[in-house]
Amino acid sequence: MQSIFKGVVASLAMTTMLAGTASAELTGDLRIFFNDQNPAPKAAMEGMVERFQQMNPDLNIELTLIDREANKTQIRNYLTANAPDVNGWYAGNRMRPYVEAGLFEDVSDLWAGPMGEELASTRPALTLDGKQWGVPYSYYQWGIYFRQDIYNELGLTPATTWDEEKANCQAILDSGRKCYTIGTRFLWTAGGWFDYLNLRTHGYDFHMALTAGEVEWTDDRVRETFANWRELLDMGAFIDDHTAYSWQEAQPFMVNGEAAAYLMGNFVVAPMREAGLTDDQLGFYQFPEITPGIPKAEDAPTDILTIPAQAQNKDNARAFLLYVASAENQTIVNDTLGQLPINSNATVADDKFIQAGFEMLSNATGGIAQFFDRDAEAEMASAAMQGFQEFMVLPDNLDAILGRLEQVRQRLNAE
């Protein structure tokens, strides 16, 4: 689907700071490929383009909307054959193949200015080889959503340390409830647990090295992460038969009060509210510290825009990315998306969970991970998440699981 916005709107003077110099209204062309045709992202991107067009009425902007899944198969072809000036993609290791192939433009110059401070929480996720390769426009938080009324009944407060988390869990179990609901029929939910346990046990740099295939799965540090996970498994912390449920089918255990918490993304809030939980009953807290002193990193899948290396209008593309990063634009875009702006000066929706997520992610000094199946290579992610699910059911199989994962890692590294 294609929308073309021509320069027919009256000028709203724009001054863009780029590489230390001010530039007047832009002229020429700007071709944008955006990787989402769904209603909210489509509206968000079309709104960005329209506002940028109003600021630059003599600029010819061509916006092409591509289905997300189709874009994943098309991206390498268009980056090499007919590159746009801007394209939509994902942060973290999903950038790596295109960076290493020389298909993305280094945009570190944009991050060297005020934008770098305003988007600081996502800088690590946009950084490879010490350089930045795109600009983020939206993300959403993960964390522990919990039944605040059950915690109040039991005299509990959200944990800030691993010992507190386990103590709370034991009190919940003693009350006849499970600590956590989860549905692992689709494997990615177990990936969320591994992410947080690994990030809190060893930190962002180790986690990213592991997902990049640079650390052996049989490494003792990986075993430490699984040992922390096993503490919860041995307590009986998770609902029974979780392999039979999707993430949606696991929600009723929390709604009905049979489980007290859910490690999940913020998209869980809407269905919880629709199921009847009030904001007085539902709360949110950050995954607690495990290893003292390790800065807290968070899972926050981040959508970005990049400049292809073969783009024909890179100055116009850079100006557009600066606008994308602005607090004003990110406020509008994420109100449309129902997600979180990344710019620390943006205004966030008047929703307690959005507000909590914005504060948490804006102060994520440990870094922003992209979720296991985005940070790891696709085949490695699939094998590992199968292993995570197996471990949750049969934790004594850990040695065999790690051995299989290490074989996959070695084979992929040899290709």
Show pLDDT as tens, one digit a residue, over the chain (415 residues): 333 333 322 223 333 333 333 346 899 999 999 999 988 899 999 999 999 999 999 999 999 999 988 998 899 999 999 999 999 999 988 898 999 999 999 999 999 999 999 999 899 889 999 999 999 999 999 999 999 999 999 999 999 999 999 999 999 999 999 999 999 999 999 999 999 999 999 999 999 999 999 999 999 999 999 999 999 999 999 999 999 999 999 999 999 999 999 999 998 998 999 999 999 999 999 999 999 999 999 999 999 999 999 999 999 999 999 999 999 999 999 998 889 999 999 999 899 999 999 999 988 889 999 999 999 988 999 999 999 999 999 999 999 999 999 999 999 999 8
What are the two backbone dihedrals, phi and then psi, of residue 166, each rounded to the nearest 5 degrees? Answer: -70, -35
CATH for 2-138+302-357?
3.40.190.10
pLDDT tens by residue, 95-140: 989 999 999 999 999 999 999 999 998 998 899 999 999 999 999 9
Q: SS3 for the chain, per residue?
A: CEEEECCCCCCCCCCEEECCEEECCCCEEEEEEECCCCHHHHHHHHHHHHHHHHHCCCEEEEEEECCHHHHHHHHHHHHHHCCCCEEEEECHHHCHHHHHCCCECCCHHHHCCHHHHHCHHHCHHHEECCEECCEEEEECCEEEEEEHHHHHHHCCCCCCEHHHHHHHHHHHHHCCCEEECCCCCCCHHHHHHHHHHHHHHHCHHHHHHHHCCCCCCCCHHHHHHHHHHHHHHHHCCECCCHHHCCCCCCHHHHHCCCEEEEEEEHHHHHHHHHCCCCCCCEEEECCCECCCCCCCCEECCEEEEECECCCCCHHHHHHHHHHHHCHHHHHHHHHHHCCECCCCCCCCCCCHHHHHHHHHHHCCCCCEECCHHHHCCHHHHHHHHHHHHHHHHCHHHHHHHHHHHHHHHHHHHHC
Q: Are 97 and 376 in contact (CB under 8 A)?
A: no
pLDDT tens by residue, 13-45: 333 333 333 346 899 999 999 999 988 899 999
Closest CA to 337 of 349, 322, 346: 349
Closest CA to 284 of 340, 357, 363: 357
Say yes or no: do domains 2-138+302-357 and 142-299+377-414 share a fold.
yes
The domain locations on the chain are 2-138+302-357, 142-299+377-414
Query: Which residue has 């510290």 as its token pair?
Result: 289
Superfamily of domain 142-299+377-414: Periplasmic binding protein-like II (3.40.190.10)
Closest CA to 381 of 370, 392, 366: 370
Q: What is the pTM of this model?
A: 0.82
pLDDT at residue number 145: 98
Q: What tokens were used for 355?
A: 């507000």
